Amino acid sequence: MNNRFETEVLHSVHTKQQGIKSKATPIYQTSAFTFSDLDELEGFYQGEGNYLYSRVGNPNTDELGHAVAALEHAEDGVAASSGLAAILAGVLAVVKSGDHIVAADDVYGGSFHMLKAELERFGIETTFVPFADLGNVTNAIKANTKLLYTESITNPLLRVEKLDEVIALAKTRNLVVLVDNTFATPLHVRPYELGADLVVHSATKYIGGHSDVTSGVIVGRKELIAEVRARIVNLGANLSPFEAWLTCRGLKTLALRMKAQSENARLLAVKLRENKNIAKVYYPFEEAEQGFGAIVSVELAEHVDADRFFKSLGWVKIVPTLAGVETTVSHPLKTSHRALPPEAQAELGITYRLVRISVGIEHGEDIVSQFEAALAKAVE
């Protein structure tokens, strides 16, 4: 479609079945699909039929993959049981035992652990380097390097990746680029349009948007997505029909939610940057033309009692995740990045005083007041 994002996000979602004119896509809550005879069954394996078994494919999971692909302006997409499952399938579609990955050192802790602790058990090596200086990336590339992995906005320190430079480097070395676009969403940036081969979302976060589903989506070049789909099917990492349906329902309001949350996040970041109880604010103030994201990370000042701060937040809840419509906080050292080695935590700045704030759709001034009050109580 040649429409603006707000229109695309509504009308990219809806699987129309022949002869059925429901406004919303039904939930195909079935484990399998039936066949009238053996010829029809054989037709599926010859590419003449759509569905066989829901692990292999289902109208609801297909709808989610295709909808996110449309928003990213990618050729194809497939859903998975979680964001991490989508990342794993994307990586395994590109690399095998004996291959090498170069990854940004400031990625989400779960991704770091999977690449470092799990995949190395199967002979896939990953080198983590600071992508802020692409000289580090160039120096880390080996003869057996196959993949560059990074995030459009990193978790939790919100470094905005120079995607055009990373992709340009990859093309000179014939490497595949996989970008986690969870924090930015296709509202703010579309890495596939910049030349990335694969783009992944933890759809649990902003795509679903309501903290009631766990799902993942990966989109990209058609031939690569075929490989990704095979990994998801063969490893049993498929998403259930109902969770796919819920994620698609949430996706329809992505533009409204993300705009409001990003506006509130920028307001909060500006106010906290002026607050004497905050040592540092992590937020991409000037990096994006179409938005700045809905996450603000802060380092509490030395004189602030961090434990008292967390206890004083009132209706702002402490959670190990992000991106619901309500404002929440998390403690990266104790949750998302607790698996990192202590030296890696220290080098990145993942300290006891670091707080990641997922900004919601409440009134912006109420959000600011809640954090100012908590900070005041933490120094009494």
> pLDDT digits over 10-46, tens only?
777 766 666 677 888 899 999 999 999 999 999 999 9
Burial class (CB in 10 A: 0-12, 13-18, 19+), 269: buried
Strands (E), the chain: 76-80, 100-104, 125-129, 145-151, 176-180, 198-201, 216-220, 278-282, 295-300, 317-318, 328-330, 354-358
Question: Which of 192, 254, 242 is CA-nearest to residue 221?
Answer: 192
Quote the CA–CA distance of 32 and 41 in Å, as a whole number. Answer: 12
Tokens for 170? 């990859």
Question: Measured between alpha carbons, how far is residue 208 from residues 205, 247, 257, 271, 325 in Å?
Answer: 6, 4, 11, 29, 10
Question: Measured between alpha carbons, how far is residue 301 from residues 97, 112, 210, 274, 353 in Å?
Answer: 46, 28, 32, 12, 8
pLDDT recorded at residue 290: 53
Quote the CA–CA distance of 163 and 160 in Å, as a whole number. Answer: 9
Do residues 288 and 266 touch, judged by C-beta distance below 8 A?
no
Residue identified by tokens 């078994």 is 53
Stated as kind and residue range, the H or E segment containing 370 is helix 364-377
- CA-derived radius of gyration, the chain: 21
What domains, with CATH codes, occur in the chain? 5-251 (3.40.640.10), 255-377 (3.90.1150.10)
Q: Return the exposure string of 320-332: e unless at least 16 CB atoms fall within 10 Å of the residue's CB, then b.
A: eebbbbebbbbbb
Could you check whether the bond before residue 156 is cis, i.e. omega within 30 degrees of 0?
Answer: yes
- Please list the ranges in the chain whose pLDDT falls under 70: 1, 14-19, 287-291
Do residues 306 and 377 touch, judged by C-beta distance below 8 A?
no
